Amino acid sequence: MTIKFTDDHEWVRQENDLVVVGITDFAQQQLGEVVYIELPDIDREIEQGEEAAVIESVKAAGEIKSPVGGVVVEVNDTLTELPEKINEEPEGEGWIYKMKPNDPSELDGLMDMTAYQSLVESLQ
Amino acid sequence: MSESAQLKRTRLHGLHLEAGAEMSLFAGYDMPVRYPPGIIREHLHTRQEASLFDVSHMGQIYVSGVDAAIHLESLIPADIVSLAVGKQRYGLLLNENGGIVDDLMIARITQTEFILVVNASCKTNDLSYLKDKLGKALSVEIDHDRSLLALQGPKSSDVMNQLGHDLSGMGFMSVREIVLDGIPCLFSRSGYTGEDGFEISMKDEHAITVAELLLSNPNVAWAGLGARDSLRMEAGLPLYGHEITQDTTPVEAGLSWAVSKARRSQGERTGGFPGDHIILPQIPRQVSRLLVGLQPVGRMPIRKDAVIEDSDGNTVGTVTSGGFSPSMWKPVCLGYVNLEYADPVDADTGHSAERPGLHAVVRGKHLPVLVTRLPFVKKNTYRIP
């Protein structure tokens, strides 16, 4: 199972022919307590780098830019009632949406775990 | 030189780092936004127990001299002449158009000496403005060597009791010197959270000792600027640069009460402050817009600068502060709306109600908002029994 990262602190994980998108632990720490999430519509077509969702914390709003392009097939509805899941398990139960990627090779251009970890270290 | 090296620090900076604070630039200072518990818990702790805020970035300006009260009244629309020694009052600095240059607290220390506590982002301008206007008649000096702590929350008075200071006789907006563990501190019973509490000023060299002494009480915990902002929003308190600016008048901002009776038309000392010719005629609600509470109907927070529209899509207002209320567990906003929308009274029944029909525009979406009475959360300031 491949997991890749963007320099905007999203993660994207391949699951069969779909990808799952969320924000990293570093991102949720920066945002603070999440109180609302605006999820994308199912079937929406999103280009790579396009705004897919908005996470509102007590402090500020943060955009999720789609790590790859594709069509949204599922969203994590649990987050509507329990947005704090994003803080608690950003890389697990706090996933945001699943999409069918148009071009899975877009994943190749993203950071792997090691590269992302050194990015985060450079920011701390 | 890196950006962080240019940031000013309060004397308590090291304590914030030790406490695990997330720091951020505010008015040129590297200030704690939140501590490990996070804004929501810090906020609720302040409403239930007592929190300690470092507000040493604010300016503490000493104004003294013969007839200082009369001179200060030439700039500030409050009744300062009859302000008793040991009391403080909310004041405004104004421009010639009646716009607000800064808001502040004025404490009378002796008959001829006052301390003005002003916003961090305005303090340099305030000082040169005050020196320019009053410098010939009075001594005007900022004390750069003092720290300021705010102890806020319903248990603040108990905390002081446990330190051997019974302050039950000290009413809201009183000021007195208290020697805390040998350290002379100036206490005022006031704050910016809507809760009972104290603002405590001391020499920088004693700031850490006083902070640690207060934090040694198990009911006291640090709270940062994030919680300070959500607390003051719930309390409906305006913030300089948001609700009040050079382009808003006190009447528009719901601060007519800061223009004391003695300074109004038919008062003992009518007007005589900058912008009086604009502000005084506005007091009987002769304004085109008013600051109101805006309660989003949904759960999405609405932030500063969101436009408010009526059901026909006409712009009728703007959000000046918006965020999440931990006490109500829903979003809240402050903002200006045109006068005809400012009254939260139902036009058909005449009863007080949250006024519907408006929405905020956020990322192209129309989010319904209700015009609501302020404060959102009832204030809990102290009254002597």
Residues of A in contact with B38 (CB under 8 A): 32-33, 58
CB-based contact, B300 to chain A, within 8 Å: yes
pLDDT mean across residues, chain A:
95
**Angle, CA of B145, B150 and B155, to the nearest 5°:** 150
pLDDT tens digits, B81-103: 999 999 999 999 999 999 999 99
- The answer, yes or no, to whether residue B214 has pLDDT greater than 50, is yes
Banded pLDDT at B349 (limits 50, 70, 90): low
CA gyration radius, chain B: 21
pLDDT tens digits, B257-308: 999 999 999 999 999 999 999 999 999 999 999 999 999 999 999 999 999 9
Taking an 8 Å cut-off on Cβ atoms, the answer to whether A59 and B299 are in contact is no
Rounded Cα distance, B362 and B365, in Å: 5
Rounded Cα distance, A105 and A109, in Å: 8
Residues of B in contact with A56 (CB under 8 A): 300-301, 324
Taking an 8 Å cut-off on Cβ atoms, the answer to whether B301 and A38 are in contact is no
Closest to A33 (Cβ–Cβ): which among B40, B331, B363?
A: B40
Rounded Cα distance, B46 and B52, in Å: 9
Taking an 8 Å cut-off on Cβ atoms, the answer to whether B323 and A58 are in contact is yes
Taking an 8 Å cut-off on Cβ atoms, the answer to whether A32 and B226 are in contact is yes
CB-based contact, A7 to chain B, within 8 Å: no
In single-letter form, the type of residue at position B161 comes to: N
Give the pLDDT of residue A1: 64
**Angle, CA of B331, B24 and B13, to the nearest 5°:** 125
Q: Whole-model pTM? A: 0.94
Shortest Cα–Cα distance, A46 to chain B (Å):
16
Banded pLDDT at B355 (limits 50, 70, 90): low
Residues of A in contact with B299 (CB under 8 A): 35-36
